[in-house]
Structure formats: structure tokens, C-alpha cells
Chains A and B, each alone.
Chain A
Amino acid sequence: MNTTALEYIVFFAASLMMLGGAVGVVLFRNPVHAALGLVLTLFGVAVHFVAQEAHFLAAVQVIVYAGAIVVLFLFVIMLLGVDKAVDLTIEPIPIQRPLAAVMTVGLVGLITAAVVKAGDAIGTLNPGLGIDVAGDIGRDGQVVSSDGNIQQLARNLYNDHVLAFQLTSVLLIVAVAGTVLLTRKWPKQGAAA
């Protein structure tokens, strides 16, 4: 399958958004600006998801991440009043920035090297998991599935990973309950909040 120019442009635009947002998160002095950078990154990732025909995930990404989590971030920032610009030049640990730089460069470099070397072992992209592609030829030359992405995902989730699913729901409840307890302001009887 040949890639069309559009796909190219989509790929690079999405990557640009993603990486640009990330850089923004790291470099903006105001936490609110950083949160906005995060939103940009999340959108970029969502576009990548769509490009790989993981439509459901793209939707969920936007709704949950960008819609809920980042909003939560902004709420907390506003609540605590830390929405002032911070001085980024202060660094009490002198070795920290070189350390971080070394680590980042090493990590990215090594992964890139490994991935590039692996090359063909990773396989080619064969989007047979999208919505409108009933009868698409999969990796082995056979028809992958006639279901759409959501159906496949649902089938996999509720058949093979039902236990994990249930546990995750418990996790959510516990998280919420725990957080409410954590942040509650106790009546003043000597107990700390």
C-alpha cells in the first residue's frame, strides 16, 4: 500500500502538535500555559490514534484525557492559586539538569537505535482494525475481521479481560472514595486535615 501525501502530512502535523505541546509543558513558566501545552499533546496523540484506525481510543482519549483530566488539572491549579509564573532558573541541585539531559539523550538514543536496528522485525502497518474496512486483508493475507474497531475492542475486552475490567472499576471507586477522604477538611478536634 502506498502512502498518500495526505497521510504524510497528517503524520507530521500530528507529531509536531504532540512534540510541540510536550516541549511547552516543560518550558512554560506558568502552570496554566503548561496545561494548555498538555492539551495540545493529547490532541496530537488522538490524531495519531485516528491515523492508525483506533477510532474508539481516539475518542476516549479526547473525552477522558483532554476533557476530564486536564480540566481537573486546571481546577486544582486555580484552586490552589499556583497559577503564577515560576522562575525556571532556580535549581538547588546543581547536577540535576545535566543528569536529566544525559538520561534523556541516552534513553531516546538507545530506543531509537534498537528500533531502527530491529527494522523489519516490527512488521508493517496493516490497519485492519478500522470501521469501514470489512474484508480488509490482514497480515497473512487473510481477512482479518469483518467487525469494526469498537466491536473488536468490545469483544476482546469483555471476553478476555473481563476480570481486569471489573478490577479497574473497583479501582476507580476506591480512588474516588480515597481522594474524597484525603482532601476532606475535618472538624477541628485536634485532628489534622
Chain B
Amino acid sequence: MIAAIEPTWYLIVASLLFGIGAFGLLVRRNPLVMFMCIELMLNAANLTFVAFATSLGDINGQTAVFFVLVVAAAEVVVGLGILVSILRRRPGATADDLAELKG
């Protein structure tokens, strides 16, 4: 009746998610929100992995997602730790304050 849901659709949706995440990363200045956009992009990648795992019949895709998840967690921990350290000293800091490379 209706067309089958192709893996292609999942890929397109994932790429949309990735695009939104990238856009947000570049546009938002609050460090915490930028971090959340990074999470969005990671999720998009996960979705892609799973879509391919299903379409190729290979479990390795899901294993990859597993690892991405773990590493993302670790990364969030460390990243937020850094952010806490910085924002404790300079409460209003944004990503634009890192302008040492100006030349």
C-alpha cells in the first residue's frame, strides 16, 4: 500500500538532525547549549549506525553505537567539569571570550 520505510529515510532524517546540531553549535554562544548541540550530532551518528546495522544485517553497527554512547558520556563528564571550572571564575563567559588567536 504505502512505500516501505527505506533505510534511506533514516539516513536523511539523521542528516537533518546532524545539520541542526551543527547549526546550533555555530550559532549559540552559551557553552552549555553548545554542548547539547554536540550531543545532537552524536545522536544523529548513532541513528545512522543503527540504520546501517539493520540494513546490512550486521550487529557491529549496534556495537559501535554502544561505544559511542559510552564515550559520549565520558566526554560530557569531562567537558562539563571544565565548564564548571571556567564558569565558576568567570560567570558570564561565552565561547567568544577565547580570542587569543586573534592576529
A94 at interface, CB cutoff 8 A: no
Is B36's CB under 8 angstroms from A104's CB?
no
Answer whether residue B103 sits at the interface, using C-beta atoms and an 8 A cutoff: no
Q: How far is the CA of A56 from the CA of B12 in the complex (A)?
A: 23
Q: Is A104 a contact of B39 with CB atoms below 8 Å?
A: no
Q: Is the CB of A125 within 8 A of B5?
A: yes
- Residues of A within 8 Å of B89, CB to CB, are 193
Residues of A within 8 Å of B77, CB to CB, are: 72, 175-176, 179
Contact yes or no, B33 A34, CB < 8 A: yes
Given A19-B20, A25-B24, A76-B32, A156 and B60 contact (CB-CB distance below 8 Å):
yes
The reply to whether A108 and B55 contact each other, CB–CB distance below 8 Å, is no
Q: Chain A residues near B43 (CB, 8 Å)?
A: 41-42, 45, 65
Q: In the complex, A130→B103 CA distance in Å?
A: 56
Contact pattern, A 124-142, Cβ under 8 Å of B = 1, otherwise 0:
1111110000000011000
How far is B12's CA from A68's CA once the two chains are assembled, in angstroms? 28
Q: Is A116 an interface residue (CB 8 A)?
A: yes
Interface string of B39-55 (1 = CB under 8 A from A): 11001001100111111
Determine how close the nearest CB of chain B comes to the CB of A75; give it in whole angstroms. Answer: 9
Question: How far, in angstroms, from A60 to B50 measured CA to CA in the complex?
Answer: 14
Q: Are the CB atoms of A99 and B26 closer together than 8 Å?
A: yes
Q: A156: which B residues are within 8 A, CB to CB?
A: 59-60, 62-63
Contacting pair A48 B21 (CB below 8 A): no
The CB with the most chain B CB atoms within 10 A, among A52, A86, A101, is that of A52
Q: With a CB–CB cut-off of 8 A, which chain B residues contact A64?
A: 69, 73
Q: Could you give 13 example pairs across A and B, Cβ below 8 Å?
A: A1-B4, A2-B4, A3-B2, A31-B33, A34-B33, A38-B36, A38-B39, A48-B47, A76-B32, A105-B19, A124-B7, A156-B63, A171-B70
- B residues neighboring A (CB under 8 Å): 1-13, 15-24, 26-30, 32-33, 35-37, 39-40, 43, 46-47, 50-57, 59-60, 62-63, 65-67, 69-78, 80-85, 87-89, 91, 96
A residues contacting B by CB (< 8 A) are 1-3, 5, 7-8, 11, 15, 18-19, 22-23, 25-26, 31, 34-35, 37-38, 41-42, 45, 48-49, 52-54, 56-57, 60-61, 64-65, 68-69, 72-73, 76-77, 79-82, 86, 90-93, 96-97, 99-101, 103-105, 107-108, 111-112, 115-116, 118-119, 122-129, 138-139, 144, 149, 152-153, 156-157, 160-161, 164, 168, 171-172, 175-176, 178-180, 182-183, 193
